[in-house]
Amino acid sequence: SGYQKVLEENRKLYNQVMDLKGNIRVYCRVRPFLGNQPNSFGCVDHIDEGNIAIITPSKYGKEGRKLFSFNKVFGPAATQAEVFSDTQPLIRSVLDGYNVCIFAYGQTGSGKTYTMTGPKELTEEGLGVNYRALSDLFHISQERRHTFSYTVSVQMLEIYNEQVRDLLATDGSIKKYPLNATFSQSGINVPDANIVPVSSPSDVIYLMNLGHKNRAVSSTAMNDRSSRSHSCLTVHVQGKDLTSGTTLRGCLHLVDLAGSERVDKSEVTGDRLKEAQHINKSLAALGDVIASLSSKNSHVPYRNSKLTQLLQDSLGGQAKTLMFVHISPEPDALGETLSTLKFAERVATVELGAAKVNK
């Protein structure tokens, strides 16, 4: 049908453009409908490998469907393993000496933490990108042990109201490893943040749990602060080539972003308003940086937020970026869903010929 044709053409066009911008990928994930209508698709009309169409009632302009195309679209039935399998090549490239950023973007409740960490009751199938990435890192470094000797270390930071906090700071059993020149070259530039050597996935799981606990401690004062701060797990990898003796460095940033929902300024004041403004500012800054990288602008505005400053060495140049944008299918989330998809479209800066499709 005509509709199928448009989908097909958009997909082709998208891939052509994205091939030119090989270092930035955008994947979209739609979580299942929560609540009592498990089989409902809500406002999602169509999903295939690279396209998603959203039903828009007249309230949002012309009634019809809006089509968005991405490198990949994962529907509600996609498993954690499937989502990760397309991420795997990036993990390998960290061990080849590249810097990689993986972001989870979306409104609160859209599934960011699910993708990065997993469901609350964690099962093996439920393990998220963070765990799978780390276990892959160790696995591949083990495979390469006759040619490379790798050391791996971990940092965990939180950005809240443009303040950076070390989530690995409070446990007495962790020795303080100040950032040295070696690491600050390819890493996050936070003097005094703990950087902890690890030698197995279980070391990392221990640290992740500690970081999550530290994050939770401060959230008792302010209800669920975790949705209003960015958390960043950084894995530094140093590999020594056993024949030539040369060293390569790569790092992997796994970033669970603050909820992207717009806050109605007429309804919040004080701390909540301040938080909302900081979040808007930093997500906009991230969007600006990625958009300017993908359109190959010579000026990249890193300095407009803490987040982009911290990740400056890992955004642009040879670095690789993957953005997971998350969508809630419920009709009452439609406004946020559309603004999330617009953000995603902008960071990919791909303008498709027929973005709006009407039946």
Going by the annotation, the residues of the binding site for ATP are: 106-113
Does 50 sit near ligand ADP (CB under 6 A)?
Answer: no
- Span interacting with ligand ADP, options 12-20, 49-57, 109-117, 295-303, rule CB under 6 A: 109-117
Angle among Cα 54, 281, 100 to the nearest 5 degrees reads 75
Q: Quick one: 83 or 152, whose CB is closer to ligand ADP?
A: 83
Cα 132 to chain center, whole Å?
14
Does 337 sit near ligand ADP (CB under 6 A)?
Answer: no
Does 97 sit near ligand ADP (CB under 6 A)?
Answer: no
The closest residue (CB) to ligand ADP is 111
Does 114 sit near ligand ADP (CB under 6 A)?
Answer: yes
Does 126 sit near ligand ADP (CB under 6 A)?
Answer: no
Position among 50, 64, 75, 109 found at the interface with ligand ADP (CB under 6 A): 109
- Span interacting with ligand ADP, options 9-17, 106-114, 130-138, 289-297, rule CB under 6 A: 106-114
Strand partners, 357: 65
User: Which strands make up the sheet holding 356-357, listed edge to edge?
Assistant: 44-47, 51-56, 64-69, 356-357
Does 231 sit near ligand ADP (CB under 6 A)?
Answer: no
Does 187 sit near ligand ADP (CB under 6 A)?
Answer: no
Binding mask 5-34 for ligand ADP (x = CB under 6 A): --------------------------xx-x
334: exposed, middle or buried (C-beta count within 10 Å: 0-12, 13-18, 19+)?
buried
Does 111 sit near ligand ADP (CB under 6 A)?
Answer: yes
Does 250 sit near ligand ADP (CB under 6 A)?
Answer: no
Cα 243 to chain center, whole Å?
36
Position among 51, 56, 87, 113 found at the interface with ligand ADP (CB under 6 A): 113
Q: Quick one: 52 or 196, whose CB is closer to ligand ADP?
A: 52
d(CA 112, CA 227): 10
Which token pair is 306?
């803490």
Binding mask 281-320 for ligand ADP (x = CB under 6 A): ----------------------------------------
What's the closest the beta carbon of residue 276 comes to ligand ADP, in angstroms? 16
Angle among Cα 32, 131, 192 to the nearest 5 degrees reads 120
- Span interacting with ligand ADP, options 41-49, 63-71, 105-113, 342-350, rule CB under 6 A: 105-113
**Residue positions counted in the chain:** 359
Position among 93, 119, 162, 206 found at the interface with ligand ADP (CB under 6 A): 119
> Which element (helix H / strand E) includes 92?
helix 88-95
What's the closest the beta carbon of residue 344 comes to ligand ADP, in angstroms? 14
Which regions of the chain does DSSP assign to beta strands (E)?
24-30, 44-47, 51-56, 64-69, 72-74, 99-105, 148-160, 163-166, 196-198, 230-241, 247-256, 320-327, 356-357
Are the beta carbons of 239 and 150 closer than 8 angstroms?
yes
Q: Quick one: 325 or 352, whose CB is closer to ligand ADP?
A: 325
Which token pair is 313?
């060495």
Residues forming contacts to ligand ADP in the complex (CB under 6 A) are 31-32, 34, 106, 108-114, 119, 227, 326
